[in-house]
Amino acid sequence: MPKSNASAVAAAKSAPKIAEAAATRPSDVFDDRGRTVPWIARTIHRLYDAQGQKLLDRESIPIAYWYYLRVLAERGEINQLELSKRVGIASTTAVPALDYLEKRGLVKRVRDPNDRRKYFVVLQDEGKRLVDRMLPDLTDMISGSLDGISQRDMRVFWKVMHQIEANLIQMAQGDTIVD
């Protein structure tokens, strides 16, 4: 729903206040627009998802389901709970995704012979073909998003991101699985 003129004016008036407030905050936490690292990371992730979805629409694969295929392509057979953790989605949320992917013939769930309550998820040949077909286009899209960024700046970026990841993992004290 479009904003009314009054709400647009109010938003415009509040923007300088946000920028002023950010100026008084530590510069390592806020950028010049008052955004934090998690905020900009979320924004960039949403932009990548939107661009990726445009490509995945050719195969009628929701972007959220692509992550399951990517983890399976990288890791091979994995139990359903571990897969959910690696994708970063609750295991109950994985059920409809895996139902869809299994119905499409992209994955197969196999009961764990040692614990009949658990399942392993296996990427089927068609799933492998789909990942092989889509990965170059998705990689090209990501590469295009890095236009204008030097290799040196990318090395710094990766160093910083890996340090943030390590700090957050340490803070989580083993509560999370990172792929």
Q: How far apart are CA 22 and CA 33, in angstroms?
A: 7
Please report which confidence band the pLDDT of residue 178 belongs to, taking 50, 70 and 90 as the band edges.
low
The amino acid at 106: L
pLDDT at 19: 56
Cβ neighbors of 28 (< 8 A, separation 6 or more) are: none
| pLDDT tens digits along 87-118 | 988 888 899 999 999 999 999 999 988 888 88
Please give the structure tokens belonging to residue 122. Answer: 């296996």
pLDDT at 125: 97
- Provide the mean pLDDT of the chain: 87
pLDDT at 93: 87
The amino acid at 12: A
* pLDDT mean over 16-23: 57
| pLDDT tens digits along 116-158 | 888 899 999 999 999 999 999 999 999 999 999 999 999 999 9
pLDDT at 161: 95
Q: Are 119 and 82 in contact (CB under 8 A)?
A: no
pLDDT at 169 over 70: yes
Q: Are 11 and 3 in contact (CB under 8 A)?
A: yes
pLDDT at 90: 86
Please report which confidence band the pLDDT of residue 52 belongs to, taking 50, 70 and 90 as the band edges.
very high
